[in-house]
Amino acid sequence: MTTIQRRAFNDAITRFWSFAAPAYDTGCLQRLVYKPAQDEVVEQLRRHGCKQIADVACGTGILATRIQQELRPDEVYGLDMSDGMLAQARQRCDRVRWMSAPAEQLPFEDGFLDAVVTTSAFHFFDQPAALAEFHRVLTPGGIVAVTTMSPRHSLPVLHALSAGLGAPAHAPTAEAMRKLFVEAGFQVEDQHRVRRPVWTPVSDLITVGVKPA
Ligand SMILES: C[S@@+](CC[C@H](N)C(=O)[O-])C[C@H]1O[C@@H](n2cnc3c(N)ncnc32)[C@H](O)[C@@H]1O
């Protein structure tokens, strides 16, 4: 995708999520689709004892608020491109710092954070650019935890079709995800399918990387 196509794609995604924001917090949608991935991320942050955490593409702020309330780190930042989603996030919690920013261009100095997390949004990103940005803003030893839709096998037909429409499907396989992490400079520490208490048609993956010290 060229820069102009990427900008148009980001604009379309932003418009869509601002439109969808009011329906997003529906209880069963959250429980079935989004919460299991968020549970995995909270567990990783707790295990690593992270203190300066950014939740990228935070949506309506459910995960960032949980991180703030359950883990009590020094600071939690919630970032998204959609004003509609951020408006709901601001109403949810005033102890998280909400910011409007794309995943590919974060408003932090080099090495400022010790954790970057993102759930159920990575498929929308320019993935190499976002991972390079996560690496830049992390301190050595900091972690990145990404949950993303991920087919169990690569889907070349789907990718070709969506690429033809100007927006290549970005749901990487586990192997492709590890490759993206390594190319961005991370050591892959953990990777597994998101554990779901009941069957859902969602097939997603968590990958955790460390910026080498
Ligand atoms: C399905 S929602 C997920 C929200 C939240 N992470 C969760 O788990 O509930 C996807 C979010 O990604 C955001 N988004 C998509 N592309 C983005 C990008 N390149 N940078 C920042 N946010 C983005 C959308 O605005 C939307 O709020």
In which band, very low, low, confident or very high, does the pLDDT at 186 lie, cut at 50, 70 and 90? very high
Name the percent of the chain lying above pLDDT 90: 66
Question: What confidence score (pLDDT) does residue 168 get?
Answer: 57
CATH of the domain at 168: 3.40.50.150
Q: What average pLDDT score do residues 106-131 get?
A: 95
Tokens linked to 61: 């702020």
CB neighbours of 140 closer than 8 A, spacing ≥ 6?
A: 111, 211, 212, 213
Q: Per-residue pLDDT for 166 more than 70?
A: no
Question: What confidence score (pLDDT) does residue 14 get?
Answer: 77
Q: Which domain holds residue 139?
A: 3-210
Mean pLDDT score of the chain, rounded to an integer? Answer: 88
Ligand 1 pocket: which of 82, 106, 108, 127 to mutate (most atoms within 8 A of CB):
82
Q: 98 CB less than 6 Å from ligand 1?
A: no
Most confident of 19-33, 42-56, 159-173: 42-56
In which band, very low, low, confident or very high, does the pLDDT at 92 lie, cut at 50, 70 and 90? very high
Q: 82 CB less than 6 Å from ligand 1?
A: yes
Of residues 101 and 172, more confidence is placed in 101
Q: Domain total for the chain?
A: 1
Q: Are 148 and 205 in contact (CB under 8 A)?
A: yes
Q: Per-residue pLDDT for 118 more than 70?
A: yes
Q: 57 CB less than 6 Å from ligand 1?
A: yes
DSSP 8-state assignment for residue 141: E
Q: Per-residue pLDDT for 134 more than 60?
A: yes
Q: Give strand pairing partners of 79.
A: 56, 99
Give kind and range of the element (H or E) at residue 167.
none
From the alpha carbon of 16, which atom of ligand 1 is closest? 25
Give kind and range of the element (H or E) at residue 164.
helix 156-164
Q: Are 23 and 116 in contact (CB under 8 A)?
A: no
